Amino acid sequence: SIERHINKKERRRLQAKGRVFRNPYNYGCLDNWKVFLGVDTGRHWLTRVLLPSSHLPHGNGMSWEPPPWVTAHSASVMAV
C-alpha cells in the first residue's frame, strides 16, 4: 500500500539521521481495532460489532482525525 511505502521510506530517512520513526496512525493493537470497528464505549462492542450497524466512520475518507478517546491517552509522535 502507499502508506506502507511511505512508512518504509520515512523509517530509512530518519534512521540515517539517527532518529526513530513512529507511525502517527498506529494506536496499538487494541485501539486500532476500536477505531476500525467504531467502538467508542464498552457497550458499542455489542451494538457496533455483533449487530448490524449504521454508524459513520471518523473522517470523510480524504482527511481523518483520530477519535478523541484514542488521542486522550496516546501521543502521536512521528520522530523521536
pLDDT over threshold 50, residue 71:
yes
What is the DSSP secondary structure assignment for residue 57, as one 8-state letter? P
Checking if the pLDDT of 72 tops 70, the result is no
pLDDT at 55: 65
Which cell numbers hold the place of 51?
449487530
Burial class (CB in 10 A: 0-12, 13-18, 19+), 3: exposed
Asked whether the beta carbons of 26 and 78 are under 8 A apart, the reply is no
Strand stretches in the chain, DSSP E: none
pLDDT per residue over 14-63, tens digit each? 999 999 998 888 888 888 888 777 777 777 777 777 776 666 666 676 77
